[in-house]
Chains A and B, each alone.
Chain A
Amino acid sequence: MWTSWKFWTVMGSIALLAALLAYGFTVDPKMVPSPLVGRPAPPFEVQQLNGTGRVSLADLKGTPFILNFWASWCVACRDEAAVLQQAHRTYEIEQKKVRVIGIAIQDAPVAALSFARQFGKTYFLALDNAAGDIGLGFGLYGVPETFFVDAGGIIRHKKIGPVSSREIREQVNLLTQPR
């Protein structure tokens, strides 16, 4: 039996399947690989929701920033609203390490402003255009999605789904440590 080619074919197939399964366990199923990580962020320019200012990728050169895509109709965005607001207070206002920017997609200005007031968002909030140019430029699958961009404008990390305080802290540390 040990020398039969049939036996070794079956054993080889089982070993291959087991190896594939073992590899599958080493990969985080929540991780969606993005070709944008490690590459320059797509250029964008947006006006603040309340109409008081504008920001563009060029303006942000030299400053690491957290770019969060959200929507007023997005239930998961409610969960992370407080987390992002806290990140704005800690890392933007107090420590002046990063900027926090939120861009609403597939949304209406009134609904987005109402959501921002309801959840106490005071950081820079803007709205993508109706064509969704910024969202498509960043290869969004949905909302919320958060990009961590370094001072050189390179995307260092992408989070699909609500972002946690721990993840923000880790990523801010990575963005601000000298390379």
Chain B
Amino acid sequence: MTPTRAFVLLLLPLLAALTVPRAFALTEEEVERRVLELSDELRCPTCQALSVKDSEASFSVQIRDKVRRMVREGQSDEAVKAFFVARYGEWILRAPKKEGIGLLLWVLPFTLILLGGGLLVWHIRRRGAAAPAAPAAALSAEQRDAIQRDLKRFREED
């Protein structure tokens, strides 16, 4: 055996290890972390406002197990979510997708807040410009005398 051939043969196991799909390299902690993250994004089909992660309903338990199996098979997060969306619709996702009509749901609240804030500022400025503070000269001589009298009395009391 030539040295080159021996070197290639030595390298083969290393190359094989590097080309093993990432899923097979996942540790149990990584699998469970992804299962928790994905379960948190999925809605429990039989509960009120609970995620699959937070629910112990039979369907949620089965969905978590299905997610776990898919993660172990090496499927991506998107593939896992797509599996459930194909069967339950977008409803199964707790957060709407940031595309299509879902994007509108994400953008609309912020747009409305900005629009409302802008309108409020515009309205306050408009009112301020329309009704300027009454000038001091508007006080009559009598009123000015009364103020001076009161001020003098306060100073004397101190």
A residues engaging B (CB < 8 A)? 33-36, 42, 106, 131-133, 135-142
A141 pairs with B45, CB closer than 8 A: yes
Tell whether B104 is near chain A: CB-to-CB under 8 Å.
Answer: no
B62 pairs with A136, CB closer than 8 A: yes
Can you identify 30 A-B contacts, CB atoms within 8 angstroms?
A: A33-B89, A34-B88, A34-B89, A35-B85, A35-B86, A35-B87, A35-B88, A35-B89, A36-B86, A36-B87, A42-B87, A106-B58, A106-B62, A131-B65, A131-B66, A132-B58, A132-B59, A132-B66, A133-B66, A135-B59, A136-B62, A136-B66, A136-B87, A137-B87, A139-B84, A139-B87, A139-B88, A140-B45, A140-B59, A141-B59
Contacts of B66 in A (CB 8 A): 131-133, 136
| 17 additional A-B residue pairs with CB within 8 Å, beyond A35-B89, A132-B58, A136-B66 | A33-B89, A34-B89, A35-B85, A35-B87, A36-B87, A106-B62, A131-B66, A131-B69, A132-B66, A135-B62, A136-B62, A136-B63, A136-B87, A139-B84, A142-B45, A142-B46, A142-B59
Contacts of A33 in B (CB 8 A): 89
Whether A131 touches B62, Cβ cut-off 8 Å, given contacts A140-B45, A141-B45, A142-B46, is yes
Task: Please give the number of chain B residues whose Cβ is less than 8 angstroms from any Cβ of chain A in the complex.
Answer: 15
Contacts of B89 in A (CB 8 A): 33-35
CB distance from A103 to the nearest CB of B (A): 14
Contacts of B63 in A (CB 8 A): 136
Interface residues of B in 30-50 (CB under 8 A from A): 45-46
CB distance from A59 to the nearest CB of B (A): 22
Distance between Cα atoms of A146 and B101 in the complex (Å)? 30
SS class of chain A's interface: helix, strand, loop or mixed? loop
Which residue of A34, A137, A138, A141 contacts B46 across the interface (Cβ within 8 Å)? Answer: A141
CB distance from A130 to the nearest CB of B (A): 9
Distance between Cα atoms of A42 and B46 in the complex (Å)? 21
Contacts of B62 in A (CB 8 A): 106, 131-132, 135-136
Contacts of A136 in B (CB 8 A): 62-63, 66, 87
Contacts of A36 in B (CB 8 A): 86-87
CB distance from B70 to the nearest CB of A (A): 11
CB distance from A68 to the nearest CB of B (A): 18
Contacts of B46 in A (CB 8 A): 141-142
CB distance from A8 to the nearest CB of B (A): 15
Interface string of B61-104 (1 = CB under 8 A from A): 01101100100000000000000111111000000000000000
Distance between Cα atoms of A136 and B86 in the complex (Å)? 11
CB distance from B47 to the nearest CB of A (A): 11
3 closest residue pairs by CB, A with B:
A139-B87, A132-B62, A141-B45
CB distance from B118 to the nearest CB of A (A): 15
